[in-house]
Structure 1
Amino acid sequence: MSKDSKTPKDTHYANLRRAHRDQKRERGELPPASPFRKKPAGDWKAPPQPTDTVWLYGIHTIKATVANPARKILRLMVTQNALARLELGETDGLPFPVEIVAPHDIDKLVGPDAIHQGALVEARPLPVRKLDSLKDKPLILVLDQVTDPHNVGAILRSAVAFDAGALVTTERHSPTESGVMAKSASGALELIPYIQITNLADALEELHQLGFQTIGLDSEGPEPLEQTFSGSKIALVLGAEGKGLRQKTRATCKALARLDMPGAIKSLNVSNAAAIALYAARSHIKA
Protein backbone atom coordinates (compact mmCIF):
# COMPACT_ATOMS: atom_id res chain seq x y z
CA MET A 1 0.00 0.00 0.00
CA SER A 2 1.43 3.36 -0.94
CA LYS A 3 1.68 6.23 1.49
CA ASP A 4 -1.04 8.09 -0.40
CA SER A 5 -3.46 5.17 -0.19
CA LYS A 6 -3.56 4.91 3.61
CA THR A 7 -7.06 4.66 5.04
CA PRO A 8 -8.36 6.77 7.96
CA LYS A 9 -8.01 3.65 10.12
CA ASP A 10 -4.31 3.34 9.17
CA THR A 11 -3.75 6.96 10.03
CA HIS A 12 -5.57 6.56 13.34
CA TYR A 13 -3.36 3.66 14.44
CA ALA A 14 -0.23 5.45 13.27
CA ASN A 15 -1.17 8.43 15.43
CA LEU A 16 -1.78 6.13 18.40
CA ARG A 17 1.66 4.57 17.98
CA ARG A 18 3.26 7.99 17.74
CA ALA A 19 1.46 9.17 20.87
CA HIS A 20 2.55 6.01 22.71
CA ARG A 21 6.20 6.68 21.76
CA ASP A 22 5.88 10.28 22.95
CA GLN A 23 4.56 9.10 26.32
CA LYS A 24 7.44 6.64 26.72
CA ARG A 25 9.93 9.40 25.89
CA GLU A 26 8.35 11.62 28.55
CA ARG A 27 8.88 8.87 31.11
CA GLY A 28 12.49 8.38 30.03
CA GLU A 29 11.82 4.82 28.90
CA LEU A 30 13.22 5.29 25.41
CA PRO A 31 16.98 5.69 24.87
CA PRO A 32 18.40 8.61 22.90
CA ALA A 33 18.04 8.27 19.17
CA SER A 34 21.01 6.61 17.48
CA PRO A 35 23.40 9.11 15.90
CA PHE A 36 23.30 6.89 12.82
CA ARG A 37 19.52 7.06 12.47
CA LYS A 38 18.34 8.90 9.41
CA LYS A 39 17.26 12.38 10.36
CA PRO A 40 14.03 13.88 9.07
CA ALA A 41 14.05 16.61 6.49
CA GLY A 42 15.28 19.86 7.96
CA ASP A 43 17.72 18.49 10.59
CA TRP A 44 17.35 20.03 14.03
CA LYS A 45 19.52 23.02 14.82
CA ALA A 46 19.83 24.58 18.25
CA PRO A 47 17.75 27.77 18.45
CA PRO A 48 19.38 30.99 19.68
CA GLN A 49 19.51 31.25 23.46
CA PRO A 50 20.45 34.22 25.67
CA THR A 51 23.92 33.81 27.18
CA ASP A 52 22.57 34.49 30.67
CA THR A 53 20.11 31.57 30.68
CA VAL A 54 20.34 27.78 30.75
CA TRP A 55 17.85 25.10 29.70
CA LEU A 56 17.61 22.27 32.22
CA TYR A 57 15.43 19.22 31.71
CA GLY A 58 14.37 15.87 33.19
CA ILE A 59 12.10 15.06 36.13
CA HIS A 60 14.82 14.68 38.81
CA THR A 61 16.64 17.75 37.52
CA ILE A 62 13.53 19.92 37.56
CA LYS A 63 12.52 18.78 41.05
CA ALA A 64 15.95 19.72 42.40
CA THR A 65 15.98 22.99 40.46
CA VAL A 66 12.61 24.10 41.84
CA ALA A 67 13.70 23.18 45.38
CA ASN A 68 16.95 25.19 45.14
CA PRO A 69 16.43 28.70 46.57
CA ALA A 70 19.62 29.88 44.84
CA ARG A 71 18.21 29.10 41.39
CA LYS A 72 16.21 31.78 39.55
CA ILE A 73 13.66 30.08 37.28
CA LEU A 74 12.22 32.10 34.41
CA ARG A 75 9.64 29.60 33.15
CA LEU A 76 8.67 25.93 33.18
CA MET A 77 7.64 24.12 30.00
CA VAL A 78 5.93 20.85 30.85
CA THR A 79 3.52 18.26 29.52
CA GLN A 80 0.42 17.34 31.51
CA ASN A 81 1.89 13.92 32.33
CA ALA A 82 5.22 15.35 33.50
CA LEU A 83 3.49 18.05 35.56
CA ALA A 84 1.73 15.34 37.56
CA ARG A 85 5.05 13.57 38.15
CA LEU A 86 6.72 16.77 39.36
CA GLU A 87 4.14 17.09 42.18
CA LEU A 88 4.40 20.88 42.34
CA GLY A 89 0.89 21.48 43.63
CA GLU A 90 -1.16 24.36 42.31
CA THR A 91 0.77 26.02 39.51
CA ASP A 92 -0.87 29.38 40.21
CA GLY A 93 1.15 29.62 43.41
CA LEU A 94 4.55 29.07 41.79
CA PRO A 95 6.94 32.04 41.44
CA PHE A 96 7.42 31.40 37.72
CA PRO A 97 5.09 30.89 34.75
CA VAL A 98 4.11 27.36 33.71
CA GLU A 99 3.47 26.55 30.06
CA ILE A 100 1.65 23.31 29.19
CA VAL A 101 3.24 21.96 25.99
CA ALA A 102 3.61 18.84 23.88
CA PRO A 103 6.88 16.82 23.88
CA HIS A 104 7.83 18.07 20.42
CA ASP A 105 7.74 21.68 21.70
CA ILE A 106 10.61 20.82 24.04
CA ASP A 107 12.34 18.82 21.28
CA LYS A 108 12.56 22.05 19.28
CA LEU A 109 14.68 23.62 22.03
CA VAL A 110 16.95 20.78 23.16
CA GLY A 111 16.89 18.42 20.19
CA PRO A 112 15.07 15.16 19.50
CA ASP A 113 17.78 13.03 21.18
CA ALA A 114 17.48 14.68 24.61
CA ILE A 115 15.56 12.56 27.14
CA HIS A 116 13.74 15.51 28.68
CA GLN A 117 10.83 13.45 30.08
CA GLY A 118 8.42 16.22 29.15
CA ALA A 119 9.85 18.92 31.45
CA LEU A 120 12.20 21.84 30.87
CA VAL A 121 13.02 25.00 32.79
CA GLU A 122 14.63 28.16 31.48
CA ALA A 123 16.69 29.55 34.33
CA ARG A 124 19.57 31.81 35.26
CA PRO A 125 22.96 30.20 35.93
CA LEU A 126 23.76 29.54 39.56
CA PRO A 127 25.57 32.29 41.50
CA VAL A 128 29.36 32.33 41.20
CA ARG A 129 31.15 30.85 44.21
CA LYS A 130 34.72 31.54 45.34
CA LEU A 131 37.31 29.11 46.68
CA ASP A 132 37.48 30.85 50.05
CA SER A 133 33.89 29.72 50.65
CA LEU A 134 35.31 26.18 51.02
CA LYS A 135 37.48 26.81 54.06
CA ASP A 136 35.17 24.83 56.34
CA LYS A 137 34.70 21.90 53.93
CA PRO A 138 36.71 18.73 54.71
CA LEU A 139 36.49 17.17 51.23
CA ILE A 140 36.34 18.62 47.71
CA LEU A 141 36.97 17.44 44.16
CA VAL A 142 39.08 19.19 41.53
CA LEU A 143 38.98 18.31 37.81
CA ASP A 144 41.81 19.03 35.40
CA GLN A 145 40.20 19.58 31.97
CA VAL A 146 37.55 16.85 32.12
CA THR A 147 35.49 17.95 29.13
CA ASP A 148 32.65 15.41 28.81
CA PRO A 149 29.46 16.82 30.44
CA HIS A 150 28.16 13.29 31.02
CA ASN A 151 31.26 12.44 33.05
CA VAL A 152 31.13 15.71 34.97
CA GLY A 153 27.45 15.15 35.71
CA ALA A 154 28.16 11.65 37.02
CA ILE A 155 31.00 13.03 39.17
CA LEU A 156 28.66 15.68 40.61
CA ARG A 157 26.24 12.92 41.58
CA SER A 158 28.99 10.94 43.35
CA ALA A 159 30.29 14.09 45.03
CA VAL A 160 26.88 14.78 46.55
CA ALA A 161 26.50 11.12 47.57
CA PHE A 162 29.76 11.29 49.55
CA ASP A 163 29.04 14.79 50.92
CA ALA A 164 31.88 16.58 49.14
CA GLY A 165 31.89 20.34 49.63
CA ALA A 166 32.37 21.41 46.01
CA LEU A 167 33.48 20.44 42.53
CA VAL A 168 36.17 22.75 41.14
CA THR A 169 36.98 22.89 37.42
CA THR A 170 38.71 25.18 34.97
CA GLU A 171 36.78 27.72 32.91
CA ARG A 172 38.42 26.48 29.72
CA HIS A 173 38.21 22.85 28.57
CA SER A 174 35.40 22.11 31.04
CA PRO A 175 31.63 22.07 30.53
CA THR A 176 29.49 24.95 31.74
CA GLU A 177 26.03 24.44 33.18
CA SER A 178 23.85 22.67 30.63
CA GLY A 179 20.89 20.38 30.30
CA VAL A 180 23.15 17.45 29.41
CA MET A 181 25.33 17.87 32.49
CA ALA A 182 22.39 18.53 34.81
CA LYS A 183 20.47 15.49 33.48
CA SER A 184 23.55 13.27 34.03
CA ALA A 185 23.88 14.68 37.55
CA SER A 186 20.24 13.75 38.29
CA GLY A 187 19.66 16.84 40.43
CA ALA A 188 23.13 17.02 42.01
CA LEU A 189 24.04 20.25 40.20
CA GLU A 190 21.61 22.05 42.51
CA LEU A 191 23.09 20.48 45.66
CA ILE A 192 26.81 21.25 45.44
CA PRO A 193 28.85 24.32 44.41
CA TYR A 194 30.23 23.98 40.88
CA ILE A 195 33.17 26.39 40.86
CA GLN A 196 35.05 27.26 37.67
CA ILE A 197 38.43 28.95 38.04
CA THR A 198 40.82 30.58 35.57
CA ASN A 199 44.15 28.99 36.51
CA LEU A 200 44.23 25.54 38.10
CA ALA A 201 47.75 25.77 39.52
CA ASP A 202 46.89 29.06 41.25
CA ALA A 203 43.67 27.51 42.57
CA LEU A 204 45.59 24.57 44.04
CA GLU A 205 47.96 26.96 45.79
CA GLU A 206 44.96 28.80 47.23
CA LEU A 207 43.57 25.50 48.47
CA HIS A 208 46.91 24.82 50.16
CA GLN A 209 46.57 28.14 51.99
CA LEU A 210 43.09 27.07 53.09
CA GLY A 211 44.60 23.94 54.65
CA PHE A 212 43.80 21.32 52.02
CA GLN A 213 46.08 18.42 51.17
CA THR A 214 45.82 18.21 47.37
CA ILE A 215 46.19 14.65 46.07
CA GLY A 216 46.47 14.05 42.35
CA LEU A 217 45.27 10.67 41.11
CA ASP A 218 47.88 9.19 38.81
CA SER A 219 48.28 5.62 37.57
CA GLU A 220 52.01 5.91 38.29
CA GLY A 221 51.57 7.42 41.74
CA PRO A 222 54.22 6.29 44.26
CA GLU A 223 51.71 5.03 46.85
CA PRO A 224 48.14 3.72 46.97
CA LEU A 225 45.58 6.44 47.64
CA GLU A 226 44.51 5.06 51.01
CA GLN A 227 48.13 5.34 52.27
CA THR A 228 48.54 8.94 51.08
CA PHE A 229 45.96 10.79 53.16
CA SER A 230 47.09 13.15 55.90
CA GLY A 231 45.34 15.94 57.74
CA SER A 232 41.63 16.65 57.98
CA LYS A 233 41.00 18.48 54.69
CA ILE A 234 41.38 16.65 51.38
CA ALA A 235 41.17 17.91 47.79
CA LEU A 236 41.16 15.07 45.25
CA VAL A 237 42.47 16.10 41.83
CA LEU A 238 41.53 14.05 38.75
CA GLY A 239 42.60 14.49 35.13
CA ALA A 240 40.93 13.79 31.84
CA GLU A 241 40.71 10.25 30.54
CA GLY A 242 43.67 9.34 28.38
CA LYS A 243 46.04 12.20 29.10
CA GLY A 244 45.47 12.36 32.86
CA LEU A 245 46.82 15.24 34.92
CA ARG A 246 48.81 17.94 33.15
CA GLN A 247 52.45 18.33 34.15
CA LYS A 248 51.89 21.66 35.92
CA THR A 249 49.03 20.14 37.90
CA ARG A 250 51.15 17.14 38.90
CA ALA A 251 53.92 19.43 40.07
CA THR A 252 51.56 21.60 42.12
CA CYS A 253 49.70 18.84 43.98
CA LYS A 254 51.06 18.04 47.43
CA ALA A 255 50.99 14.31 46.66
CA LEU A 256 50.36 11.87 43.84
CA ALA A 257 48.59 8.58 44.46
CA ARG A 258 47.28 5.62 42.52
CA LEU A 259 44.20 3.44 42.72
CA ASP A 260 45.46 -0.12 42.98
CA MET A 261 43.43 -2.47 40.78
CA PRO A 262 44.27 -6.19 41.06
CA GLY A 263 42.20 -7.19 38.03
CA ALA A 264 43.15 -7.40 34.37
CA ILE A 265 41.87 -3.88 33.61
CA LYS A 266 44.08 -1.20 35.12
CA SER A 267 42.16 1.96 34.26
CA LEU A 268 38.69 3.30 35.00
CA ASN A 269 36.33 5.89 33.63
CA VAL A 270 37.08 9.16 35.43
CA SER A 271 33.64 9.24 37.05
CA ASN A 272 34.16 5.72 38.47
CA ALA A 273 37.62 6.64 39.71
CA ALA A 274 36.16 9.74 41.38
CA ALA A 275 33.55 7.66 43.23
CA ILE A 276 36.17 5.22 44.55
CA ALA A 277 38.50 8.04 45.59
CA LEU A 278 35.66 9.85 47.37
CA TYR A 279 34.78 6.71 49.29
CA ALA A 280 38.39 6.26 50.40
CA ALA A 281 38.75 9.92 51.37
CA ARG A 282 35.50 9.94 53.30
CA SER A 283 36.64 6.84 55.22
CA HIS A 284 39.87 8.67 56.18
CA ILE A 285 38.05 11.79 57.29
CA LYS A 286 35.67 9.79 59.49
CA ALA A 287 38.51 7.79 61.09
Structure 2
Amino acid sequence: MELRKMWFVKNLNQCAKNCNLLGCWKWDISRIVMRQLQCRAKYAVVILNRPITQNQTFITNLWNNACLRVTVDGGTAQWDNFLKELPENVQKTIRVPDLITGDFDSIPQEILQKYEAINCKVIHTPDQNHTDFTKALMELNSWCKLNNLEIDHVITICQSSGRLDHIMGNIQTLFLAKEKLLLGLKTRLYLVTDDSISWLLQPGDHIIKIPEQSQVNKRAWCSLIPVGETCSRITTSGLKWNLESQSLKFGEIVSTSNTFDGSEHVTVKCSNTVLWSMKVPTLLGE
Protein backbone atom coordinates (compact mmCIF):
# COMPACT_ATOMS: atom_id res chain seq x y z
CA MET A 1 0.00 0.00 0.00
CA GLU A 2 2.81 2.42 0.90
CA LEU A 3 4.63 1.66 -2.35
CA ARG A 4 1.45 2.33 -4.33
CA LYS A 5 1.00 5.65 -2.52
CA MET A 6 4.62 6.65 -3.21
CA TRP A 7 4.18 5.78 -6.90
CA PHE A 8 1.01 7.87 -7.09
CA VAL A 9 2.63 10.91 -5.45
CA LYS A 10 5.62 10.64 -7.78
CA ASN A 11 3.29 10.40 -10.78
CA LEU A 12 1.25 13.39 -9.57
CA ASN A 13 4.35 15.50 -8.95
CA GLN A 14 5.68 14.71 -12.40
CA CYS A 15 2.38 15.67 -14.00
CA ALA A 16 2.29 18.90 -11.98
CA LYS A 17 5.80 19.79 -13.20
CA ASN A 18 4.66 19.28 -16.77
CA CYS A 19 1.74 21.69 -16.28
CA ASN A 20 3.94 24.55 -17.35
CA LEU A 21 4.05 22.95 -20.79
CA LEU A 22 1.40 23.12 -23.50
CA GLY A 23 -1.17 20.35 -23.21
CA CYS A 24 -1.55 19.97 -19.45
CA TRP A 25 -4.70 20.80 -17.51
CA LYS A 26 -5.77 20.92 -13.88
CA TRP A 27 -9.44 20.26 -13.15
CA ASP A 28 -11.17 21.26 -9.91
CA ILE A 29 -14.97 21.15 -10.08
CA SER A 30 -15.42 22.10 -6.42
CA ARG A 31 -16.12 25.70 -7.40
CA ILE A 32 -19.19 24.64 -9.31
CA VAL A 33 -20.53 21.88 -7.04
CA MET A 34 -19.91 23.48 -3.63
CA ARG A 35 -22.16 26.41 -2.72
CA GLN A 36 -19.56 28.17 -0.57
CA LEU A 37 -17.13 28.27 -3.50
CA GLN A 38 -19.53 29.12 -6.34
CA CYS A 39 -19.32 32.86 -5.64
CA ARG A 40 -15.60 32.71 -6.46
CA ALA A 41 -16.16 31.23 -9.92
CA LYS A 42 -17.17 33.01 -13.11
CA TYR A 43 -19.57 30.70 -14.90
CA ALA A 44 -22.71 30.45 -17.01
CA VAL A 45 -25.56 27.96 -16.61
CA VAL A 46 -27.35 26.49 -19.63
CA ILE A 47 -30.64 24.56 -19.23
CA LEU A 48 -31.50 22.07 -21.99
CA ASN A 49 -34.85 20.45 -22.70
CA ARG A 50 -34.84 17.62 -20.17
CA PRO A 51 -36.35 17.30 -16.67
CA ILE A 52 -34.18 18.85 -13.96
CA THR A 53 -33.49 16.01 -11.51
CA GLN A 54 -30.74 17.46 -9.34
CA ASN A 55 -31.16 18.60 -5.74
CA GLN A 56 -33.28 21.78 -5.62
CA THR A 57 -30.88 23.64 -3.36
CA PHE A 58 -27.92 22.80 -5.60
CA ILE A 59 -29.73 24.02 -8.73
CA THR A 60 -31.09 27.23 -7.19
CA ASN A 61 -27.69 28.19 -5.77
CA LEU A 62 -25.92 27.30 -9.01
CA TRP A 63 -28.41 29.40 -10.97
CA ASN A 64 -28.41 32.47 -8.72
CA ASN A 65 -24.61 32.56 -8.37
CA ALA A 66 -24.01 32.38 -12.13
CA CYS A 67 -22.78 35.33 -14.17
CA LEU A 68 -25.11 34.37 -17.02
CA ARG A 69 -28.24 32.18 -17.15
CA VAL A 70 -29.49 30.64 -20.43
CA THR A 71 -32.49 28.44 -21.18
CA VAL A 72 -32.62 26.64 -24.52
CA ASP A 73 -35.96 26.21 -26.32
CA GLY A 74 -38.01 23.62 -24.37
CA GLY A 75 -35.48 23.95 -21.57
CA THR A 76 -37.34 27.15 -20.68
CA ALA A 77 -40.47 25.10 -19.96
CA GLN A 78 -38.37 22.62 -17.97
CA TRP A 79 -37.01 25.53 -15.93
CA ASP A 80 -40.53 26.89 -15.42
CA ASN A 81 -41.69 23.48 -14.17
CA PHE A 82 -38.73 23.33 -11.79
CA LEU A 83 -39.62 26.76 -10.38
CA LYS A 84 -43.23 25.71 -9.73
CA GLU A 85 -41.97 22.91 -7.45
CA LEU A 86 -40.07 25.36 -5.23
CA PRO A 87 -41.58 26.91 -2.11
CA GLU A 88 -43.19 30.27 -2.88
CA ASN A 89 -40.70 32.20 -0.74
CA VAL A 90 -37.80 30.59 -2.64
CA GLN A 91 -39.38 31.31 -6.03
CA LYS A 92 -39.23 35.02 -5.24
CA THR A 93 -35.44 34.84 -4.83
CA ILE A 94 -34.75 33.17 -8.20
CA ARG A 95 -33.23 35.36 -10.90
CA VAL A 96 -34.84 35.36 -14.35
CA PRO A 97 -33.05 33.94 -17.43
CA ASP A 98 -30.71 36.40 -19.11
CA LEU A 99 -31.09 34.72 -22.47
CA ILE A 100 -33.60 32.35 -24.11
CA THR A 101 -32.57 30.80 -27.43
CA GLY A 102 -33.63 28.06 -29.85
CA ASP A 103 -35.63 27.37 -32.97
CA PHE A 104 -38.66 27.33 -30.63
CA ASP A 105 -40.16 24.10 -31.92
CA SER A 106 -40.46 22.64 -28.42
CA ILE A 107 -41.36 25.59 -26.19
CA PRO A 108 -45.07 26.30 -25.57
CA GLN A 109 -45.95 29.77 -26.83
CA GLU A 110 -47.51 30.75 -23.50
CA ILE A 111 -44.18 30.01 -21.76
CA LEU A 112 -42.22 32.03 -24.30
CA GLN A 113 -44.65 34.94 -23.95
CA LYS A 114 -44.48 34.71 -20.15
CA TYR A 115 -40.71 35.24 -20.15
CA GLU A 116 -40.80 37.86 -22.88
CA ALA A 117 -43.20 39.80 -20.65
CA ILE A 118 -40.59 39.98 -17.87
CA ASN A 119 -37.99 41.35 -20.30
CA CYS A 120 -35.90 38.22 -20.84
CA LYS A 121 -33.80 38.57 -23.99
CA VAL A 122 -35.11 36.13 -26.61
CA ILE A 123 -33.04 35.14 -29.66
CA HIS A 124 -34.56 32.93 -32.36
CA THR A 125 -31.94 30.57 -33.88
CA PRO A 126 -33.67 28.74 -36.78
CA ASP A 127 -30.50 27.33 -38.40
CA GLN A 128 -31.00 23.55 -38.68
CA ASN A 129 -27.33 22.80 -39.41
CA HIS A 130 -26.65 22.86 -35.67
CA THR A 131 -28.49 21.72 -32.57
CA ASP A 132 -30.12 24.28 -30.30
CA PHE A 133 -27.41 23.52 -27.71
CA THR A 134 -24.62 24.36 -30.16
CA LYS A 135 -26.38 27.54 -31.29
CA ALA A 136 -26.97 28.53 -27.66
CA LEU A 137 -23.22 28.40 -27.01
CA MET A 138 -22.64 30.65 -30.02
CA GLU A 139 -25.15 33.17 -28.68
CA LEU A 140 -23.70 32.87 -25.19
CA ASN A 141 -20.24 33.66 -26.54
CA SER A 142 -21.58 36.65 -28.48
CA TRP A 143 -23.31 37.91 -25.33
CA CYS A 144 -20.07 37.65 -23.36
CA LYS A 145 -18.12 39.55 -26.02
CA LEU A 146 -20.78 42.26 -26.28
CA ASN A 147 -20.91 42.71 -22.51
CA ASN A 148 -17.15 42.32 -21.97
CA LEU A 149 -17.79 39.32 -19.73
CA GLU A 150 -15.17 36.61 -19.28
CA ILE A 151 -16.35 33.27 -17.92
CA ASP A 152 -14.29 30.28 -16.85
CA HIS A 153 -16.97 27.58 -17.01
CA VAL A 154 -20.22 26.75 -18.79
CA ILE A 155 -22.32 24.26 -16.82
CA THR A 156 -25.00 22.57 -18.92
CA ILE A 157 -27.92 20.93 -17.13
CA CYS A 158 -29.13 18.08 -19.33
CA GLN A 159 -29.89 14.36 -19.13
CA SER A 160 -28.36 11.03 -20.08
CA SER A 161 -31.80 9.46 -20.46
CA GLY A 162 -34.30 9.81 -23.27
CA ARG A 163 -33.30 9.86 -26.94
CA LEU A 164 -29.87 8.42 -27.69
CA ASP A 165 -29.38 10.77 -30.65
CA HIS A 166 -29.89 13.78 -28.36
CA ILE A 167 -27.33 12.39 -25.91
CA MET A 168 -24.83 11.91 -28.72
CA GLY A 169 -25.69 15.38 -30.02
CA ASN A 170 -24.70 16.87 -26.66
CA ILE A 171 -21.34 15.09 -26.84
CA GLN A 172 -20.94 16.36 -30.40
CA THR A 173 -21.39 19.89 -29.05
CA LEU A 174 -18.54 19.28 -26.59
CA PHE A 175 -16.32 18.52 -29.58
CA LEU A 176 -17.61 21.46 -31.62
CA ALA A 177 -16.98 23.84 -28.74
CA LYS A 178 -13.34 22.74 -28.78
CA GLU A 179 -12.78 22.39 -32.52
CA LYS A 180 -14.78 25.44 -33.68
CA LEU A 181 -13.89 27.68 -30.72
CA LEU A 182 -17.53 28.27 -29.84
CA LEU A 183 -16.43 29.62 -26.45
CA GLY A 184 -13.47 31.56 -25.11
CA LEU A 185 -10.10 29.83 -25.22
CA LYS A 186 -10.04 29.43 -21.43
CA THR A 187 -13.73 28.56 -20.98
CA ARG A 188 -14.45 24.97 -19.96
CA LEU A 189 -17.67 23.20 -20.89
CA TYR A 190 -19.35 20.59 -18.68
CA LEU A 191 -22.43 18.36 -18.98
CA VAL A 192 -24.31 17.76 -15.71
CA THR A 193 -26.68 14.78 -15.85
CA ASP A 194 -28.41 13.53 -12.68
CA ASP A 195 -25.49 12.94 -10.28
CA SER A 196 -22.63 13.03 -12.79
CA ILE A 197 -20.42 15.56 -14.55
CA SER A 198 -18.78 14.93 -17.93
CA TRP A 199 -16.24 16.81 -20.02
CA LEU A 200 -13.59 16.24 -22.67
CA LEU A 201 -9.96 15.54 -21.86
CA GLN A 202 -7.84 16.73 -24.76
CA PRO A 203 -4.52 15.06 -25.69
CA GLY A 204 -1.99 15.74 -22.95
CA ASP A 205 -1.69 15.50 -19.17
CA HIS A 206 -4.58 16.04 -16.78
CA ILE A 207 -4.83 16.31 -13.01
CA ILE A 208 -8.43 15.90 -11.80
CA LYS A 209 -9.21 16.81 -8.20
CA ILE A 210 -11.80 14.36 -6.85
CA PRO A 211 -14.45 15.82 -4.51
CA GLU A 212 -14.34 14.22 -1.07
CA GLN A 213 -17.88 12.89 -1.41
CA SER A 214 -16.84 11.02 -4.55
CA GLN A 215 -13.71 9.65 -2.88
CA VAL A 216 -15.63 8.03 -0.02
CA ASN A 217 -18.90 7.07 -1.71
CA LYS A 218 -18.99 3.30 -2.18
CA ARG A 219 -21.08 3.60 -5.34
CA ALA A 220 -18.98 6.34 -6.93
CA TRP A 221 -17.98 5.62 -10.51
CA CYS A 222 -16.02 7.16 -13.33
CA SER A 223 -15.28 6.40 -16.97
CA LEU A 224 -12.93 7.22 -19.82
CA ILE A 225 -14.62 6.84 -23.21
CA PRO A 226 -12.96 7.24 -26.63
CA VAL A 227 -15.48 9.07 -28.81
CA GLY A 228 -15.03 9.50 -32.55
CA GLU A 229 -11.56 7.98 -32.65
CA THR A 230 -9.32 5.47 -30.93
CA CYS A 231 -7.25 6.72 -28.02
CA SER A 232 -4.04 4.96 -28.95
CA ARG A 233 -2.30 5.42 -25.60
CA ILE A 234 -3.63 6.32 -22.15
CA THR A 235 -2.07 6.08 -18.68
CA THR A 236 -3.85 6.83 -15.40
CA SER A 237 -3.32 6.91 -11.65
CA GLY A 238 -5.79 7.24 -8.78
CA LEU A 239 -8.29 4.73 -10.21
CA LYS A 240 -9.16 1.28 -8.89
CA TRP A 241 -8.38 -0.13 -12.33
CA ASN A 242 -5.62 1.99 -13.81
CA LEU A 243 -4.55 2.00 -17.44
CA GLU A 244 -0.87 1.76 -18.37
CA SER A 245 -0.05 2.86 -21.92
CA GLN A 246 -3.17 1.08 -23.13
CA SER A 247 -5.40 1.70 -26.12
CA LEU A 248 -9.10 2.57 -25.72
CA LYS A 249 -11.28 1.57 -28.64
CA PHE A 250 -14.87 0.43 -29.15
CA GLY A 251 -14.83 -3.27 -29.91
CA GLU A 252 -11.78 -3.69 -27.67
CA ILE A 253 -11.22 -1.95 -24.30
CA VAL A 254 -13.38 0.94 -23.02
CA SER A 255 -13.00 2.05 -19.40
CA THR A 256 -16.58 2.10 -18.10
CA SER A 257 -17.74 1.42 -14.52
CA ASN A 258 -14.33 2.29 -13.12
CA THR A 259 -14.00 3.90 -9.69
CA PHE A 260 -11.55 5.72 -7.43
CA ASP A 261 -8.87 4.30 -5.16
CA GLY A 262 -9.43 6.95 -2.45
CA SER A 263 -6.76 9.37 -3.70
CA GLU A 264 -7.43 13.11 -3.80
CA HIS A 265 -6.47 13.30 -7.47
CA VAL A 266 -6.71 11.24 -10.63
CA THR A 267 -4.08 11.77 -13.31
CA VAL A 268 -4.68 11.00 -16.97
CA LYS A 269 -2.18 11.13 -19.81
CA CYS A 270 -3.87 10.55 -23.16
CA SER A 271 -2.77 10.66 -26.78
CA ASN A 272 -6.28 11.43 -28.10
CA THR A 273 -9.40 13.16 -26.83
CA VAL A 274 -11.52 11.10 -24.42
CA LEU A 275 -14.78 11.76 -22.57
CA TRP A 276 -14.36 11.76 -18.78
CA SER A 277 -17.46 11.20 -16.60
CA MET A 278 -17.71 10.92 -12.83
CA LYS A 279 -20.33 10.57 -10.13
CA VAL A 280 -20.76 13.51 -7.73
CA PRO A 281 -23.28 12.37 -5.09
CA THR A 282 -24.12 15.84 -3.77
CA LEU A 283 -25.75 16.79 -7.07
CA LEU A 284 -28.72 14.67 -5.99
CA GLY A 285 -28.34 15.61 -2.34
CA GLU A 286 -26.85 12.26 -1.27
Q: TM-score, normalised by structure 1?
A: 0.28
Larger Rg: 1
Q: By percentage of residues, which structure has more strand?
A: 2
